[in-house]
Structure 1
């Protein structure tokens, strides 16, 4: 994880701690202890867990060390057309978007999802790459203007991102 993204996470965590009501719409965990991070995780995910053991902003939530294993059941429901059933071990569920899984390709580190198309994700006929890596995903989709592309932009997290000046596309050169 690049230092600028780590610093942004720390600044937002401190700001959110000053807003007790924020627990309803955002929560940034403290970094995990190195021995609490499961062995064998991709480097990007390991770095994120060490910086923030779980991140939730509005309708997007990234796993913590304690919830990561419990999210993997989503792999069992991936549609046959996706590459997940062929290589289940090559994928990792790293979080959710409105209760729908967000996947990491273990080989490339790319972040994937089933885009909304009017049907449940497990019956979807589309599976798309969202970001080339986890840092880019966090920077653009969780902490930046891409949040509105993933979810309705009418929630408190979107308003908070706007208040923080994080929705300006010109400022998105962190990753």
Structure 2
């Protein structure tokens, strides 16, 4: 994980700790101990968990090392048109957006999801790459202007990002 993103996560964690109501909409876990991480995780996910063992930001939650195994059941419900049923071992559920899973392609590290299209995710006919890697996903979609693309309406996390000056597209690479 790049140093800039690591510092941003630490700064936001400290800022959230000073806000008494922040647990209602956000929580950044402390970094996991290296021996607590499940074996076989992709390197960039391991790096993230070492910095923040679980990230809840508004309607998006990335699993902690202790909850990661418990959300893999989403793989069982992936629509047949997606590549997940044919290569279940090649995918990892890394979190959720509202109650809908966020997937990582183990081979490329890319983050995928079923974009909203008026139907439940498991009956969807669209499955798209959201970010090329977990670092880009966290930087742009969780801690930046892309958050608005993932959520249907403004919420307290969106307001927090705005207060922190993190929603300005000009400061982001747009990945």
The normalised TM-score by structure 2 is 0.98
Q: Root-mean-square deviation (CA), in Å?
A: 1.1
d(CA) in 2 for partners of 1:61 and 1:55? 6
Which residue number in structure 1 is paired with residue 18 of structure 2? Answer: 18
d(CA) in 1 for partners of 2:87 and 2:154? 37
Listed as ranges, the matches of 1:1-175 within 5 Å are 1-173=1-173
Stretches of structure 1 lacking an aligned partner (at least 5 in a row): none
The normalised TM-score by structure 1 is 0.98
The number of equivalent residue pairs is 175
Contact 2:81 2:125 (8 Å CA) reproduced: yes
Alpha-carbon deviation of 1:174?
Answer: 9.8
Which structure has more relative contact order (CA 8 Å, sep 6+)? It is 1
Moved beyond 2 Å, runs of 4+:
none
Contact 1:139 1:174 (8 Å CA) reproduced: no
Stretches of structure 2 lacking an aligned partner (at least 5 in a row): none
Alpha-carbon deviation of 1:19?
Answer: 0.7
Instruction: Deviation per CA, 1:114-156: give whole Å up to 9, x if none.
Output: 0001100000000000000000000000000000000024100
Instruction: Deviation per CA, 1:67-107: give whole Å up to 9, x if none.
Output: 10000000000000000000000000000001100000000
Contact 2:57 2:157 (8 Å CA) reproduced: yes
d(CA) in 1 for partners of 2:167 and 2:75? 32
